Amino acid sequence: MVTCYHYSSTIPSVELYGDLGLRPSTDLDLVVRKEQALRAIDILRGSHYEPDFPITDKWSGRYVRQFIELPFSCSERHTRIDLHWGLLDHFLFNPTPEQLWSNPQVVSLDGLLVKTLSVENTLWYLCVHAAKHDWLILQWLVDIAELLRRRPDVDWDRLFCRRAVGASSS
């Protein structure tokens, strides 16, 4: 069994705007624990999803160690899944695995209950993702504002307790 969280534009569509159609998406983003990434890759391959570029079993382990995601497509279903075992690479204040996997939210996507990131991790991700892309799309700022409006229960202490990656604990 592989534990995964769903995160992508479908979560803000439902949680922030109440309508799955308001934030169209071309793929489904799933995040798994790094130690479960190879098993998740096998499960996707067994479900007729193929990586968007050739990668042999021999190289899968090395790929997982070096990168944080692998895109898959299924031509039968006309669907894409981006499998992640990290959210943003090379950024300060990335959550530790314990922080990332703690306090998940459960949301309903058309009656299907799915786990997703905590409110704090969702806010962190929206901010860092937008900053990574130089705030190119106004919708990302609107998503942040709407999250803060709808979820005043953000645990700011939990969010701000993160240290820069590699910072000393003293």
- Number of Cβ within a 10 Å radius of residue 3: 12
* pLDDT value, residue 52: 94
60 belongs to a structural domain: yes
* pLDDT value, residue 169: 45
What is the Cα–Cα distance from 140 to 82, expressed in whole angstroms? 19
* pLDDT value, residue 92: 61
64 belongs to a structural domain: yes
88 belongs to a structural domain: yes
* pLDDT value, residue 167: 43
63 belongs to a structural domain: yes
* pLDDT value, residue 162: 65
For the chain, 170 residues long, the average pLDDT of each consecutive 10-residue run is 78 78 80 93 94 89 92 91 84 71 83 86 87 89 92 87 51
83 belongs to a structural domain: yes
Q: Give Cα separations from 159 to 5, 30, 74 (angstroms).
A: 19, 22, 37
Q: Whole domain around residue 33: which residue ranges?
A: 4-116
127 belongs to a structural domain: no
Total domains in the chain come to 1
Antiparallel, parallel or unpaired: β 28-32 and 79-84: parallel
**Mean pLDDT, rounded, of the chain:** 84
149 belongs to a structural domain: no
